[in-house]
Amino acid sequence: MGVDKSSANGETGRVKTEPEMNNGSNQKQTTDRKRVTNASTQEKSLDILYTVDQVPPWYLCIFLGFQQFLTAFGATFAYPVIISSAICIQGDDVGLGELISTVIFVSGFSSIIQTTFGIRLPIIQSISYSFIVPAFVVMSVSPDNCPYTDPKVNKSTLPPLASEHHRLIWKSNLCQLQGALMVASLLSIIIGFTGLIGFLMRYIGPLTIAPTISLIALSLFKVAADKGSTQWYICFMTIVLVAIFSQYLRNVGISCPCLPDKLRIFALFPVLLAIVISWIICLILTEAGVFPSEPDAIGYKARTDIRVKTLEDSSWFRFPYPGQWGVPTVSVAGVLGMLAAMLASIIESVGDYYACARLSGAPPPPGSAVSRGIGMEGITCLLAGAWGTGGGNTSYSENIGAIGITKVGSRAVIQVAGLIMIVLGCLGKFGALFVLIPEPIIGGLFYVMFGMVGAVGISNLQYVDLNSSRNLFVFGISIFFGLSVPNWVADNGIQTGNSLADQVLKVLFGTSMFVGGVLAFFLDNTIPGTREERGLLEWNKVKVGSEDEDLSVYDLPLIQKYLNRLACTKYIPFCPGSILDKHEEPFAGMESQELPTSVSENRHLETRI
């Protein structure tokens, strides 16, 4: 899985771009590319059991790869559950299980693509919460998208849930999201492979990122309340268990024969442990007759025997494929909504790249690697749209935090994790298993995850001067507009006399992070203020990476030695050794900011819990 790019003649490091190298031999160029890793990087690597290019024994790769999957599974399976009401899939539990399996499958090969051809760091790629709000808004444009929830429709005239007619409805809705996502993914591809990401990051600072990320969570409070209110006691118990495992017991370790140090299992798997314990308690209470058996009674959805038939009806093996829900459809309103989510996801990933490099003992990624990572993320989003996951991909901060805990930064481990997700995504009953989780447990997880996402966004304000009335004005009015305008649009709609314009404006102004993010970006870049006051100096105050650092970890596998012979590659932004690597200013400081859209190193694990 891990590709050792070091050859016998010492072919490591970054391509030098001086013109005089073009006439030299390949041996001379290879020698020139070799850099000596500086002392700080060596010291950092001493704390890492396996660095990015090193491959652990196969059995340890499997164990650590499965661990990485378990770390990401909470956020991965939660996304389809969250958007289930928006796409009208509720009631078709077999279909929801198929969607969950598809998300897991796509996350697997997306992680392999990113670690092999993209940023080349040990990063899990999976579905992003940035796409939740646009999905809800796009689906709300027309009430015909879900007649089962339309109060104006006589439910007795509709075919039963999970019928073929019902399946055609939610598949058609997914096709709308598919087409919008596939077109919107071109933004990430263009921004990445053209090197524009460096230019954009000069103008996007903490005051733009904070409200944008915070509003992702603040606009989802109703989703968490709807799930949790089905049985508040179970919901609160789940929240308490996650808090105990992720906060109070996070430093408690358990001996593991595979690792020299104790495994901090509570910090690694707080969600998994909370789900299992809460599920067992719900099972006991169900068998004891504590929960009511009437479907309309409060507490009924906490029962564990409601969806057992789903597991029986699901197939053992199901291979997800592109276009499985139908032919993707494209609308202007849908594309614009997904574009807003795509931009937020891009900003999030850039910060994660630098945090992952720091924790895995690698030097800060050069501009070409960051550009290639964002471009490749766009390709994985394009593939996610083709397969029909309902949302695009981003890097997962909690898995980066797991690297800091296990001290294993091997790229091969993530690639094995990707293979595990591909296999599990093809097992139909595995996806159906998540559908059986009682709703109040899911509600408790939503409270924790959405709360952390909101806090992560607000944490970016640590870099700005909070004694400045300018900064308080920018953040405050952006948050308030981001909450109030979408709420007004949802209640009153928009009527311009043109149906297409109505749909476009409803999607844009109904998406909270678009309203708040665009307003914050405009105000932060137009209202007079010093770079120090805006937090840009503190954000960028960091060692950018030494010229002596060995950047071979970011070289492309197999073809790097051929690229070294081509002088034109220095003009290609995503090729190792491009002129973009000589101008680090656009990304300067990102590796020290702890994550522009994530929490600091000791809080990575809890970003999505």
pLDDT tens figures, 52-96: 988 988 888 998 898 889 888 878 888 998 899 889 998 888 999
Using alpha carbons only, how large is the chain's radius of gyration in Å?
24
Given a contact cutoff of 8 angstroms between Cβ atoms, the answer to whether 221 and 522 are in contact is no
Q: Which of 233-237, 258-262, 425-429 has the lowest mean pLDDT?
A: 258-262
Q: Which two tokens stand for residue 558?
A: 């197999």
| pLDDT at position 36 | 37
Q: Which two tokens stand for residue 457?
A: 């966004």
Residues 168 and 434: their CA atoms lie apart, in Å, by 23
For residues 590-596, give the mean pLDDT.
Answer: 39
| pLDDT at position 601 | 39
Name, in order, each residue with C-beta under 8 angstroms of 569's C-beta and a sequence gap of 6 or more.
15, 563, 575, 576, 577, 578
Q: Which two tokens stand for residue 239?
A: 């929240």
| pLDDT at position 525 | 93
| pLDDT at position 453 | 82
CA-based max dimension of the chain: 82
Q: HSE on the CB side for 496, CA within 13 Å? A: 10
pLDDT tens digits along 233-249: 999 999 999 899 888 98
Residues 362 and 409: their CA atoms lie apart, in Å, by 9
For residues 125-145, give the mean pLDDT.
Answer: 87
For residues 168-181, give the mean pLDDT.
Answer: 93
Residues 253 and 172: their CA atoms lie apart, in Å, by 48
Residues 605 and 587: their CA atoms lie apart, in Å, by 24
Between 539 and 138, residue with greater pLDDT: 138
Q: Which two tokens stand for residue 426?
A: 């093809």
| pLDDT at position 45 | 42
Between 329 and 258, residue with greater pLDDT: 329
How many of the other CB atoms lie within 10 Å of CB of 31?
14
pLDDT tens digits along 317-367: 999 999 999 999 998 989 998 998 998 888 888 878 888 888 888 888 888
Backbone angles phi, psi at 331, to 5 degrees: -130, 150
DSSP assignment letter at 401? H
Question: What confidence tier does 521 reach under pLDDT thresholds 50, 70, 90?
Answer: very high
Question: Alpha carbon 341 to chain centroid distance?
Answer: 11
Where would I find the beta strands (DSSP E) of 509-607?
none
Q: What percent of the chain has pLDDT over 70?
A: 84
pLDDT tens digits along 527-564: 999 888 998 887 765 435 555 566 788 888 887 777 77
Alpha carbon dihedral 335, 340, 341, 346, in 10-degree steps, equals 120
| pLDDT at position 161 | 86
Residues 418 and 402: their CA atoms lie apart, in Å, by 16
For residues 277-303, give the mean pLDDT.
Answer: 90
- CA 149, 154, 155 angle in degrees (round to 5)? 60
- What pTM value is reported for the model? 0.79
Q: Is pLDDT above 70 for 596?
A: no
Name, in order, each residue with C-beta under 8 angstroms of 114's C-beta and a sequence gap of 6 or more.
123, 125, 373, 376, 377, 380, 395
Residues 498 and 22: their CA atoms lie apart, in Å, by 59
Q: Under DSSP, is residue 263 helix (H, G, I), strand (E, B) or coil?
A: strand
Length of the chain: 609
| pLDDT at position 490 | 86
Name, in order, each residue with C-beta under 8 angstroms of 414's C-beta and a sequence gap of 6 or more.
65, 68, 111, 115, 122, 123, 124, 399
DSSP assignment letter at 247? I
Question: What confidence tier does 440 reach under pLDDT thresholds 50, 70, 90?
Answer: very high
